[in-house]
Amino acid sequence: MAIVSVPDASLSPQDLQKTVQAVQQYQAKALFSEPDVENRVLRTLATDLNLPLHEIDPLESGPLDPQHYFTAMRGNLETIANACR
């Protein structure tokens, strides 16, 4: 698994190159993004690399119920585990 940080707004050619290199180097099985980030370029990149694109909850907002953290993190873990199979 590799983590490549890319800007929310738009991907530069350098961002794309860095992401493609990481996918190839680490033989990534999926790409991940945040639910509220609208990035057509990332969706296109996932399609071009023949990789699924999954959403991970960044926990930046949500219910104030303390159990929300555990529920969201369990969901994130399941998403990552299923994507890496």
For the entire predicted model, the pTM comes to 0.80
**Residue 32: half-sphere exposure toward Cβ, Cα within 13 Å:** 20
- Give the per-residue pLDDT at 49: 93
pLDDT at 8 over 90: no
pLDDT in tens, 14-67: 888 888 999 999 999 999 988 877 678 788 889 999 999 999 998 888 888 889
How much is the pLDDT for 52? 94
* pLDDT at residue 42 in the model: 81
Question: With 0-12 CB in 10 A as exposed, 13-18 as middle and 19+ as buried, what is 42?
Answer: buried
pLDDT of residue 1: 67
Q: What are the residue ranges of helices labelled H in 27-65?
A: 40-48
